[in-house]
């Protein structure tokens, strides 16, 4: 004889209680599983600015200790002529809404790109921007630095030029500070410099007055025309023991599986680069 499978029926009080317990457990496990395997979802996708007449991109984001958010954007306008500007937007409500806060100053015929945004909250809190400037007349690109007060409602930018040499193109700038260790902080900048003969070397510059002025930049690598190597994409940081640390790409003008010298490398300066090239 085949036994009839037992079916829970809500007809009697006892079976009704068992039925409700089983139903509760089924629902609980279903909901728990749904949350356990559901993708993590953050906050809303808030639009900082709508792309209306060209392209906006290359966002750089910083946040102050009192919660202000600043986002720098590179803007490209294609007509009637190509223009590149940098705008900075601010949010006072954790990124829910944004307002145009400032536009980086530039002269007619100049184009700004390759932004690096840095907040340093020390004895003087400043927003710092390092950026490449190209020119409509085809002049060689340079790298500028600008700073302003993040607490200002009408920001005014102080602009200097850490990297500019006759006959050289400068790109790939990066910026760091030692504000984590010193309230009266220094700034450190690195870039690639390329002459007409196309060797690409790393250049370094330092500011000891929080960006008001810069010491003369100097080369850290010495590629030659006879044996061309390439030093690219440098990134800079201030680390322990007062070291200024760099990471960068290195290539020896060779492509393919037999080229063993292409690599990512690092170098550092002791004593916050206080003695120039001899500290590296």
Distance CA 147, CA 52 (A): 28
Highest mean pLDDT among 25-29, 47-51, 110-114: 110-114
Per-residue model confidence as pLDDT tens digits over 4-35: 344 444 455 555 556 555 556 666 555 454 44
Q: What are 188's two structure tokens?
A: 């450190």
What integer pLDDT is reported at residue 175 of this predicted model? Answer: 98
The SS3 assignment for 63 reads strand
The secondary structure element, H or E, covering residue 27 is helix 13-37
Q: How far are the Cα atoms of 92, 127, 255 from residue 151, in angstroms, in the given order?
A: 11, 10, 49
Per-residue model confidence as pLDDT tens digits over 124-183: 999 999 999 999 898 999 999 999 999 999 999 999 999 999 999 999 999 999 999 999
Q: How many CB atoms lie within 10 A of CB 89?
A: 19
The domain locations on the chain are 12-41, 54-279
Per-residue model confidence as pLDDT tens digits over 63-99: 999 999 999 999 887 777 778 899 999 999 999 999 9
Render the burial of 233-270: b for 16+ CB within 10 Å, e for the rest. Answer: ebbbebeeebbbbbbbbbbeeeeeeeeeeeeeeeeebe
For domain 54-279, give its CATH number from 3.40.640.10, 3.20.20.60, 2.120.10.10, 1.20.140.10.
2.120.10.10
Distance CA 96, CA 43 (A): 9
């Amino acid at each position: 004889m085949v036994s009839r499978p037992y079916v829970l029926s809500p007809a009697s009080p006892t079976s009704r209680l068992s039925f409700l317990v089983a139903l509760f457990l089924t629902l609980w496990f279903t909901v728990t599983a749904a949350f356990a395997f559901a993708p993590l979802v953050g906050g809303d996708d808030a639009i900082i600015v709508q792309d209306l007449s060209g392209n906006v991109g290359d966002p750089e984001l910083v946040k102050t200790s009192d919660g202000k958010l600043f986002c720098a954007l590179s803007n490209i306008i294609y007509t009637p002529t190509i223009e590149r500007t940098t705008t900075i937007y601010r949010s006072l409500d954790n990124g829910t809404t944004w307002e145009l806060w400032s536009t980086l100053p530039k002269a007619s015929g100049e184009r700004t790109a390759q932004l690096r945004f840095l907040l340093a909250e020390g004895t003087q809190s400043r927003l710092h921007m390092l950026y490449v400037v190209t020119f409509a007349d085809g002049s060689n690109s340079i790298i500028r630095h600008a700073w302003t007060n993040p607490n200002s409602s009408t920001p005014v930018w102080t602009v200097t030029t850490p990297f500019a040499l006759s006959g050289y193109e400068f790109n790939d700038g990066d910026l760091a500070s030692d504000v984590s260790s010193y309230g009266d902080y220094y700034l450190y900048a690195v870039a690639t410099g390329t002459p007409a003969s196309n060797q690409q070397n790393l250049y370094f510059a330092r500011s000891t007055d929080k960006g008001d002025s810069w010491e003369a930049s100097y080369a850290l690598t010495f590629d030659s025309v006879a044996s061309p190597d390439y030093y690219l994409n440098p990134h800079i940081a201030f680390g322990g023991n007062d070291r200024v640390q760099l990471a960068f790409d290195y290539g020896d003008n060779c492509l393919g599986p037999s080229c063993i010298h292409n690599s990512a490398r690092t170098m550092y300066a002791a004593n916050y680069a206080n003695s120039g090239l001899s500290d590296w």
